[in-house]
Amino acid sequence: MNSDSALPTAPDDAAPERLAPRPLYRPTVDPASAAAFSRPAGVADPFAPGAGRGPSEPDPALSVRPPDPVLAEAFGRPEGETDTIGRDPDAAAAEEPGAETVADPWRDPAAPVRLGAAAVQAPPAAALPPAAKLGVRDVLFGQRIAPRAVAVLVGAALAVGLVGGIVGRITAENVGALTSKKVELTQSGGGDREVGQVAKVAQAVLPSVVSIQVALGDQTGTGSGVVIDGAGYIVTNNHVVSLAATDPAKSTLRAVFSDGTHAPARIVGRDTKTDLAVVKVDVGNLTVAQLGKSADLQVGEDVVAVGSPLGLSKTVTSGIVSALHRPVRLSGEGTDTDAVIDAVQTDAAINPGNSGGPLVDDQGRVIGINSAIRSESGGSVGLGFAIPVDDVTRVAQELIRTGAMHHSEIGVNARSVTNDQTTGAQVANVQAGGPAQQAGIVEGDVIVKVGDRTVANADELVVAVHQQSVGQSVPVQLIRSGREVEVQVTPVSD
């Protein structure tokens, strides 16, 4: 753009140009709207006061019409009333002197709830007409009857009472006649009756069975035992005397014989791996139990269990041998017993307190020491277990001689396994340098037989190993990678 070029400008004194006002647009009003919202016919001025009508001049169109008679009757004041329905809260109430001012719950939110007068007064009860007084006949019979009928009823009542009294008297006399001092009852004696075999066994065995009582402070326990030697040696369970073994100086161990005599006892030795213990009493002339052989037992033989179940001494129960060579693990709270026994199973009732007592055959020979039950409730349900007398004899003899018992071990820990391929005891770990490692047994091998004893689970492996002699080689069959392998293992003493 050139510097000398310029736009045309208006003179300074020229007035600015103004735009003309737009035309006023008035919408078209339809006749219906005009009829509804326009002034009434004949009215030229607006509804507000205007020219030609003074402010005090009433508008005829706005005059108040008298109320409808029906509405006046419904909502008007009752005849003779001058006050309105509403009351001025600020106005002073005209009260009689000494009258109590009652708070109005409709106007005062803090006013208490109260009952007012009824809206409609109940009409007074109408007076009843006077009635005649009731007599005795009216009260008893509900209506008037003749005096002769009353006399008949009274006579009938007396007759019934007389007959009842006579019958009662006769009955009382007959009851007295039912008793007699001349009758004497007789009993037949059993001198010629044959004594049963269980009774014979009980008579023979009971004198050799003792009740063992243990106390340590506030803790007490009761078990059973059986005399196995005339020098005062008694065999029982380890878990019966383990409480006394924890603190011999403060504990009390006592044997109670069948005749009621008491004698203090001392622990000779204990074996936690077979749950057996031997105690000794200084008592002479003891009745010694006869020991049998558990190797000769047959399933179904009659047996008798003797002991002190639940503290009840000299208790005898009978049953049969239910099973043999039943591996049972024994352990529990409050005892150091950790044993697996090759048990004799019986259905003779065995309960807590029978532990340590004898299981005898029908000839009165001890064939086991009662040790455990298996029950969901803790009571006897026909599943009792006894340590075979062959094991009892071997362990008790060693405890009496040396005071300790040692068992054979091969140095493995196992767990039970059952699958489609095999059933046995699977080796979980092998002791370094132990007999099993020296024989080539490794983890994962499943042991199915030790010597002549078939192994079906981990507990049965413990029993089978303990039956072997220390230092004597024994064949062990196992399954490794699906193949059967046999190795020679030499057990050592624990």
Catalytic site includes residue 466 = no
Q: Which of 355, 371, 380, 408 is catalytic?
A: 355
Phi and psi (nearest 5°) for 137? Answer: -65, -35
Closest CA to 383 of 332, 322, 341, 327: 322
Say which residues have a Cβ less than 8 Å from residue 348's Cβ, sequence separation at least 6: 303, 304, 305, 317, 318, 319, 320, 359, 384
Catalytic site includes residue 239 = yes
Question: Distances in Å between the alpha carbon of 242 and those of 251, 351, 355?
Answer: 11, 19, 13
Q: Which of 211, 239, 347, 466 is catalytic?
A: 239
Q: How does 389-427 read in b/e, with b if 16+ C-beta sit within 10 Å?
A: bbbbbebbebbbeeeebebbbbbbebeebeeeeebbbbb
The structure tokens 């006394």 sit at: 244
Q: Check if the beta carbon of residue 345 is closer than 8 Å to that of residue 336.
A: no
Closest CA to 372 of 416, 406, 399, 340: 340
Q: Check if the beta carbon of residue 313 is closer than 8 Å to that of residue 225.
A: no
Q: Which of 208, 211, 271, 275 is catalytic?
A: 275
Say which residues have a Cβ less than 8 Å from residue 411's Cβ, sequence separation at least 6: 430, 431, 433, 434, 435, 436, 437, 492
State the Cα–Cα distance between residues 426 and 413, nearest whole angstrom. 8
Which tokens is 256 given?
Answer: 């109670």
State the Cα–Cα distance between residues 269 and 340, nearest whole angstrom. 19
Q: Check if the beta carbon of residue 435 is closer than 8 Å to that of residue 491.
A: yes
Report the greatest alpha carbon distance in the chain: 171
State the Cα–Cα distance between residues 369 and 341, nearest whole angstrom. 11
55, 57, 61, 63: CA torsion to nearest 10? 100
Catalytic site includes residue 407 = no
Say which residues have a Cβ less than 8 Å from residue 55's Cβ, sequence separation at least 6: 49
Task: Please give the positions annotated as active site.
Answer: 239, 275, 355
